[in-house]
């Protein structure tokens, strides 16, 4: 193994979730999980998630800390036309900027609404009140004059996204080309064991120490799984090094390994037909016979219904 691999350093990302409704449990935060899943696909490493209230001073303090610490910052929530939507105000405070009504943003709002219904005093204009140096990001391929385009505000390294999950996900799609690093690929593998975590702790710790800085190795007990007791996760930016660590773990824990697919439905058809080809398997023979019957029925009739009775 080469220590040069330690020099690989993906850019960092921090997520700030804003909303009293998250802190008091009145709303679920699904956006954090979405960023956790999406960050590796963007080639960036999520370093921290904060949840803070709808308070412009709290937002300003957190944004200021994040923007100086991480390469990219995403905020979730606090965008709207009501009194508690103060994310733009908080970001402006963090940057010592004025809040202005962005003319292009206002133009977009008018296109998305009834033009004659929006006046300077209309609450909806609050959506267009953003920090002075803001840049508007639109979905790729959508022109500025498109009725379906709604922009995401970007200030320096801060991307300001709405908190509604479906809109947040759309926002991630819009900003991905601005933060994605195609040269960084995260590799992942999991090993499933039938023993208790305490039985492998010593060997696993030694393995993790051996590959420290090259492969991240985590252990996750499963208390309510019928198939395995521990999942060992391997993550690395270097595929061959990850393979070495994984194969060494296979040798160490060979007596406990179980072949487990956490997503069995994804390729269920392939697995079923593979089972049918196992001539020595009684189950395979029965499945093959059942499939043959189903195929004959479907070939004979244009519409078929199947039912079963449990006695």
Q: Which helix (H) or strand (E) holds 89?
A: helix 87-95
Query: Cα–chain-centroid distance for residue 125?
Result: 31
**87 CB-near residues (< 8 Å, 6+ apart):** 18, 59, 75, 77, 78, 79, 160
Q: Report how far residue 29's alpha carbon sits from residue 22's, in angstroms, rounded to the nearest whole number.
A: 6
CATH 1.10.3720.10 fits 11-179, yes or no: no
Convert 171-191 to b/e letters by CB count within 10 Å (16 or more is b).
Answer: bbebbeeebeeeebebbebeb
Q: For 257, which DSSP code?
A: B
- How far apart CA 77 and CA 168 sit, in angstroms, is 9
Taking only the tens of pLDDT, the chain with its 311 residues reads: 333 344 568 999 999 999 999 999 999 999 999 999 999 999 999 999 999 999 999 999 999 999 999 999 999 999 988 999 999 999 999 999 999 999 888 888 877 776 556 666 677 788 899 999 999 998 875 444 444 468 999 999 999 999 999 999 999 999 999 999 999 999 999 999 999 999 999 999 999 999 999 999 999 999 999 999 999 999 999 999 999 999 999 999 999 999 998 887 877 888 888 888 887 888 888 988 988 888 888 888 876 566 655 54
- Rounded Cα distance between 284 and 274, Å, is 9
187-252 and 11-179 share a CATH fold: no
Cα 301 from Cα 223, distance rounded (Å): 47
User: In this structure, which topology does domain 187-252 adopt according to CATH?
Assistant: Alpha-Beta Plaits (3.30.70)
List CB contacts of 70: < 8 A, sequence separation 6 or more: 12, 13, 14, 47, 48, 157
| Domain range summary for the chain, segments of one domain joined by + | 11-179, 187-252, 268-300
State the pLDDT at residue 188: 96
Round to whole Å and give the CA distance between 17 and 3: 36
């Amino acid at each position: 193994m080469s220590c040069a691999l330690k020099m690989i350093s993906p850019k960092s990302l921090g997520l700030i979730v804003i909303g009293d409704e998250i802190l008091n449990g009145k709303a679920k935060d699904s956006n954090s999980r979405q960023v956790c899943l999406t960050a590796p696909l963007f080639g960036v490493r999520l370093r921290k998630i904060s949840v803070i209230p709808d308070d412009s001073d709290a937002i300003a303090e957190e944004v200021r800390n994040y923007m100086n610490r991480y390469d990219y910052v995403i905020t979730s929530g606090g965008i709207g036309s009501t009194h508690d939507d103060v994310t733009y105000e908080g970001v402006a405070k963090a940057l010592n900027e004025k809040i202005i009504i962005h003319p292009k943003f206002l133009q977009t709002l008018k296109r998305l609404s009834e033009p004659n219904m929006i006046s300077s005093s209309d609450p909806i204009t609050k959506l267009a009140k953003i920090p002075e140096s803001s840049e508007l990001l639109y979905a790729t391929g959508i022109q500025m004059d498109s009725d379906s385009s709604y922009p995401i505000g970007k200030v320096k390294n801060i991307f300001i996204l709405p908190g509604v999950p479906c809109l947040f996900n759309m926002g991630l799609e819009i900003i991905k080309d601005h933060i994605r690093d195609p040269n960084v690929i995260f590799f992942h593998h999991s090993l499933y064991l039938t023993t208790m975590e305490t039985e492998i702790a010593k060997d696993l710790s030694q393995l993790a120490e051996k590959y420290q800085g090259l492969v991240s190795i985590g252990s996750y007990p499963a208390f309510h799984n019928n198939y395995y007791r521990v999942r060992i996760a391997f993550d690395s930016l270097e595929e061959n090094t990850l393979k070495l660590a994984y194969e060494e773990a296979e040798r160490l824990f060979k007596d406990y390994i179980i072949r487990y697919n956490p997503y069995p439905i994804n390729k269920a058809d392939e697995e079923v037909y593979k089972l049918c080809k196992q001539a020595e398997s009684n189950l395979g023979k029965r499945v093959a016979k059942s499939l043959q019957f189903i195929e004959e029925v479907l070939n004979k009739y244009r519409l078929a219904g199947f039912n079963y009775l449990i006695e």
